[in-house]
Chain A
């Protein structure tokens, strides 16, 4: 699964197109040469040269992928797998999580795997969907031998999936509604006009 596309800022041509679009939106009359000058002097944020460290082994990544699919499956819109959430979590936790958070995530994955073996004598990913749900529901409710600590670990994992999905392009723009430039604030807007929630904040 590919990571979401890099922004247009990494590419002079599309940056110029984006600037032109913005200039038009601003009602600015920018000449072709001034646009070139703007694009040329626009320094891409250093963020995009970041390397691609990972936290998870191939097996752990496969488990996170399966869990993402269970938590946010494909429906009439793409789910967590198509949004590359597992790859996002793999990189995000490597760069942005504390070592305690990383250990918590790895412990949660190990706990899910060991519970699958204890209960069904097989790997989690080999279970039927019903068995997987049975196990995860018990874990989330801290029942059938699962503790409050197990519930907390699962909640952390779900939070990562939710964050990864609803900030992804499909999650923000297909599952939810997104307006890059709303054109102002309307306080009397009716939900039925879009029928779903806004992808807020970005």
Chain B
């Protein structure tokens, strides 16, 4: 990366400003620069360069003083929220936000765990990379049962954009011809192990409505030539993903969208630049730029452009919009509807079941596969829901017990040691990912008095699971346990972890606080991710989502971003924005 792409102060009026450099921001930068727009990518965190700054990569457990654990004092002081994320450890902690620097408030009885990645590349360095298309069942859901507002788009509107982003990013998976989970443009699927194949056979024999298939993931199982040209290589199954991957084997801003954007010579990057607000000109009814606070010096500066893309993460983007107040928009830019900040959703994780599989003692696997299996949604699709709205899919997988489980057994000495040397019994698990309804009362607002160290008003987050959410989690656990019993597993145990320690936010699929919709009176964005109120302002991260479906949302952010960028450039050329 050349030094001069990084800027701090400039009088240049760019064609486009993209706020945030994660999964959505990277795509916005790539698409806008490739269409010839001089684009400034604004990132609140520090630069992270591919390969060079993956400081935890390749570290073995024994090369870390606490074997991947982080000191309690450091966690207590700086990472008290981030520590709850499964991927937080000694080799990845520098890619998470520092909770001390990024405070937010919640009511005492409504905890929300906000997981953040504040650096160039954002959470694209941290995501779990499962990549699924949404179907018309998902885009129709609000219209079907009347919760939330109807999506302004349908599957056919986004289909070609899924094609486009999948080919570039590289999504592995199996072609299944399922209406509920449309196929992507696939690289070859990762392999199932023999127990997973057996579980698939047993389940599909009993239920024609339930399929068990390999998960779909943004990993190069077998790279195509254009991936090799990006400098990306085949996944080595190291399980180093969240430490950063020098092979570029998984999709991240650094491995995939940023190199393309840089190759155009149209990209500039301003890091350590915390966007305070969007600058609005009431005379033209246009956003003209962004006000920025320097992360290190606390100085303020401004950047200007003809079109603004907000891709600062669902809650980050909403915080900026709420803070962009003017006479025209006293409650936040583009908020004539009053919907801004409301309808916060996450996915319902933390419920499922597992059981022991007898036999298969000679079978094992090699490598740390970056994806499990899934069972696409069946509950409100081809099976009836008992007592709740919407549905869920299962994540699944079979593994043999390792020292982590066997080491809890009784006994001492050579026999104890010998028992752990051999892999233990096989276990198969089903774990749900449920759709959370869009509810007005799940909302974020600016705290009236509390500010962070840069003077930004803190977000106040009020979000909790509803009765519908809890009923669904009960069904996720019960249905999983019944299914495992029915296919002959032993010691079946179900669990709803969400009853103990899984709060909204921890699934890291927060969505919906600047939703799309047909009606400017009830939604913030139109069908092109364009603010109803301010035509040159676009929001393409998770804030735009109108419902949450049950699938992981990132692939949809990519497709919506590419589509919105194409539309914005057309409108710009037509002189309409």
Which of A55-63, A113-121, A178-186 lies at the interface? A178-186
Q: Mark B185-226, 1 if CB is under 8 A from A, else 0.
A: 000001111101000000000000000000000000100000
Which residues of B are in contact with A by a Cβ distance under 8 Å?
51-52, 55-56, 58-73, 90-91, 94, 190-194, 196, 221, 231, 233-239, 246-247, 361-370, 400, 402-404, 407-408, 410-414, 416-418, 420-424
B62 touches A172 (CB 8 A): yes
Please, how many angstroms separate the alpha-carbon atoms of A4 and B65 in the complex? 8
Q: Which 10 A-B pairs have the closest CB atoms?
A: A162-B407, A182-B367, A7-B63, A187-B191, A185-B367, A202-B61, A187-B193, A167-B61, A185-B369, A189-B366
What's the nearest-Cβ distance from chain A to residue B3, in Å?
Answer: 12
Add 19 more A-B contacts to A50-B71, A163-B67, A191-B363 (CB < 8 A): A6-B63, A7-B64, A9-B63, A44-B55, A45-B55, A50-B65, A88-B67, A91-B65, A96-B66, A96-B69, A166-B403, A172-B61, A185-B367, A186-B365, A187-B192, A188-B363, A193-B364, A196-B421, A201-B61
> A140 and B64 in contact (CB under 8 A), knowing A7-B59, A22-B58, A197-B423?
no
Does the CB pair A43–B55 fall under 8 Å?
yes
Near B by CB (< 8 A), chain A positions 97-154 give 97-98, 133, 136-137, 140-141
Asked if residues A47 and B65 are in contact (CB atoms below 8 Å), the reply is: yes
Which residues of the other chain, B, contact A79 by a CB distance below 8 angstroms? 417
Whole-angstrom distance from the CB of B223 to the nearest CB of chain A?
11
Minimum distance in angstroms from B174 CB to a CB of chain A: 13
> With A45-B56, A140-B410 in contact, do A5 and B417 touch (Cβ < 8 Å)?
no
Q: Indicate if the CB atoms of A200 and B368 lie closer than 8 Å.
A: yes
Partner of B412, one of A3, A42, A70, A185: A70
Min CB gap B576→A, angstroms? 45
Chain A residues with CB below 8 A from B364, complex form: 189-191, 193-194, 198
Q: A91-B65, A95-B66 are in contact. Are A172 and B60 (CB under 8 A)?
A: yes
Q: Are B62 and A169 neighbours in the complex by a CB distance under 8 Å? A: yes
On chain B, the residues within 8 Å of A48 by CB distance are 65
12 contacting pairs across A/B (C-beta < 8 A):
A7-B60, A7-B63, A28-B231, A45-B90, A50-B65, A71-B416, A95-B72, A162-B403, A166-B420, A185-B370, A188-B191, A190-B363
Q: Is the CB of B366 within 8 A of A186?
A: yes
Q: How far does the Cβ of B259 sit from chain A's closest Cβ, in whole Å?
A: 14
Distance A8 CA – B424 CA, assembled complex (angstroms): 33
Asked whether A22 lies within 8 Å of B246 as measured between CB atoms, the reply is: yes
A133 touches B413 (CB 8 A): yes
- Known contacts A96-B70, A96-B71; decide if A186 and B367 are in contact (CB<8 Å): yes
Given A98-B72, A196-B422, A197-B400, answer yes or no on A189-B365 (Cβ-Cβ < 8 Å). yes
A44 to B86, CA, bound (A): 24
| A20 interfacial contact with B, CB 8 Å | no
Within 8 A of B (CB), among A18-36: 18, 22, 25-28
Q: Chain B nearest CB: distance from A129 CB in Å? A: 9
Residues of A within 8 A of B62 (CB): 4-5, 167-169, 172
Residue of B nearest to A151 (CB): B410
Q: Which residue of B lies closest to A4 (CB)?
A: B62
Contact A197 B422 (CB under 8 A): yes
Contact B365 A187 (CB under 8 A): yes
Known: A26-B246, A133-B413. A176 touches B368 (CB 8 A): no
Residues of B within 8 A of A197 (CB): 400, 402-403, 420-424
- Pair A176/B66 contact, Cβ less than 8 Å: no
Shortest CB distance B187–A (Å) = 13
Residue from B235, B237, B367, B368 within 8 A of A201 (CB atoms):
B368
The minimal Cβ–Cβ distance linking A91 to chain B, given in whole angstroms, is 7
Whether the pair A184, B52 counts as a contact (CB closer than 8 A) is: no
Checking A38, A88, A98, A182 against B236 with a beta-carbon cut-off of 8 angstroms, the contacting residue is: A182
Residues of chain A lying within 8 A (CB to CB) of residue B94: 45
Once A92-B66, A191-B361, A196-B422 are accepted as A-B contacts, the answer to whether A185 and B61 lie under 8 Å apart by CB is no
Taking CB atoms and an 8 Å cut-off, the chain A residues in 75-92 that contact chain B are 75, 79, 88, 91-92
A8, A45, A172 pick with most chain B CB within 10 angstroms: A45
- Residues on A with C-beta less than 8 A from B69 are 92, 96
**B402 with A200: CB separation less than 8 A:** yes
A75 touches B414 (CB 8 A): yes
Q: Is the CB of B422 within 8 A of A136?
A: no
Q: Could you say which residues of chain A place their CB within 8 Å of the CB of B196?
A: 187
Closest beta carbon of chain A to B413's beta carbon, Å: 6
A136 to B414, CA, bound (A): 15
Q: How far is the CB of A78 from chain B (nearest CB, A)?
A: 11
Q: Are B233 and A183 in contact (CB under 8 A)?
A: no
Chain B residues near A196 (CB-CB < 8 A) = 421-423
B365 neighbours in A (Cβ, 8 Å): 185-187, 189
Query: Is the beta-carbon distance between A185 and B71 smaller than 8 angstroms?
Result: no
Q: B190 touches which one: A45, A185, A193 (CB < 8 A)?
A: A185
The answer, among B193, B407, B408, for a CB contact under 8 Å with A188, is B193
Judged by a CB distance under 8 angstroms, whether A73 is at the interface is yes
Given A186-B191, A197-B402, A197-B422: A155 in contact with B367 (beta carbons within 8 A): no
Q: Is the CB of A176 within 8 A of B421?
A: yes
Q: How far is the CA of A4 from the CA of B52 in the complex (A)?
A: 25
Distance of A187 Cα from B368 Cα, bound (Å): 10
Given A26-B247, A96-B72, residue A182 in contact with residue B237 (CB < 8 A): yes
- Report yes or no: B408 in contact with A155, Cβ–Cβ below 8 A: yes
Q: Verify A180–B65 contact, CB threshold 8 A.
A: no
Enumerate chain A residues within 8 angstroms of B55, measured Cβ to Cβ. Answer: 9, 42-45
Partner of B194, one of A5, A184, A187, A193: A187
Whether A158 and B403, one on each chain, are in contact in the complex, defined by CB atoms closer than 8 angstroms, is no
CA distance A182 to B400 in the complex (A): 18
A88 to B72, CA, bound (A): 16
Chain A residues in 8 Å Cβ range of B70: 96
Chain A residues closer than 8 Å to B408, beta-carbon distance:
155, 158-159, 162
* Distance to closest chain B CB from A19 (angstroms): 8
Q: Do A71 and B412 contact each other (CB < 8 Å), given the known contacts A96-B69, A168-B62, A185-B367?
A: yes
User: Among A97, A175, A184, A200, which residue has its beta carbon within 8 angstroms of that of B72?
Assistant: A97
A96 to B65, CA, bound (A): 11
Q: Which residues of A contact B423 (CB under 8 A)?
A: 191, 196-198
Q: State the CA gap A193–B364 with chains docked (Å).
A: 9
A45 surroundings in chain B (CB, below 8 A) = 55-56, 90-91, 94
From A25, A73, A168, A184, give the contact of B367 (CB < 8 A).
Answer: A184
* Contact assessment for B412 and A202 in the assembled complex, using a CB-CB cutoff below 8 Å: no
- Shortest beta-carbon distance from B63 to chain A in Å: 4
